[in-house]
Amino acid sequence: MRITRFGDAALLVELGHTIDVLVNIQVLAAAEIVGQARVPGVRDVVPAYGSFAVHFDPLRTDVPVLREVVARAVTAAPPRIEQGRMGPIEIPVCYGGRFGPDLGAVAAWAGMDPHHVIDVHASREYRVFMLGFLPGFPYMATVDERIAMPRRETPRTRVAAGSVGIAGPQTGVYSFDSPGGWQIIGRTPLALFDSRNEPPALLTPGQRVRFRSVSSLEFDAMRRADGSR
């Protein structure tokens, strides 16, 4: 464990530097304990893959006390297998075509047929390690190494909300229209973030996700039924 100042109003707590399920479990558990400690002045606790940031009001927070709380939280949250935290959620995806402009590039990089890429991507269960970049944007892993194509050398200036992408061992879903450099292989009709909902993000760190391939007709029907996008 390494605790360092992250500017003048945050602490960065580092537990690892790889995509590792057990490390991420410990990160989420420790972050939850720190949040529940109600240390005066703490504004937010934000978990990532192998670290978490504790944001605080420097005029209200006793930093040495906060450091002690953080250290105890990490010690009290040893790596463990999560039991029934959250069941897997299914995300429908229309792969390729106008929704997946990089599917062909991923297939060429992998040396396989585009339909095989779809099967490989949709065949496994992914863990949501963290949310970031955009509100509700899930960083998920681990992508099968056969299709784990690196990010694009030149990012796009606009990627549509709902786009499903690959960036090396990670897969993710754009929650809003945004610039982005991930390899876009499909799109979901689901809204990943809606401020009218509680919680507003569809996915939560620690949750499990499976993708299901749907046709463009099914995609359009689901989008019409949703009525929000």
Cis status of the peptide bond prior to 142, with omega within 30 of 0:
yes
Residue 84 has pLDDT above 60, yes or no: no
Element (H, E) at 128: strand 126-131
Phi/psi for 69 (5° steps) reads: -60, -45
pLDDT above 80: residue 63:
yes
Q: Facing residues of 42 across strands?
A: 56
Q: What is the mean pLDDT of residues 48-71?
A: 97
Q: What is the mean pLDDT of residues 26-50?
A: 96
Asked if the model's pLDDT at residue 43 lies above 90, the reply is: yes
Mean pLDDT of the chain: 94
In this predicted structure, what is the pLDDT of residue 224? 85
Single-letter code of the amino acid located at 13? V
Question: 92-137 pLDDT, tens per residue?
Answer: 999 999 999 999 999 999 999 999 999 999 999 999 999 999 999 9
Q: For residues 76 and 4, which has the higher predicted lDDT (pLDDT)?
A: 4
Residues ≥6 apart with Cβ < 8 Å to 59: 41
Which pTM does this prediction carry?
0.91
Instruction: Let me know: does 105 contact 227? Beta carbons within 8 Å.
Output: no
pLDDT tens string 170-209: 999 999 999 999 999 999 999 999 999 999 999 999 999 9
> What pLDDT shows up at residue 83?
52
- pLDDT reported for residue 17: 92
Task: Locate 20 and state its tokens.
Answer: 């590792």
Please check whether residue 176 is in contact with residue 94, taking contact to mean a CB–CB distance below 8 angstroms. Answer: no
pLDDT score recorded for residue 79 = 60
Convert the pLDDT of each residue in 5-31 to its tens digit. 999 999 999 999 999 999 999 999 999
How many percent of the chain have pLDDT more than 70? Answer: 94
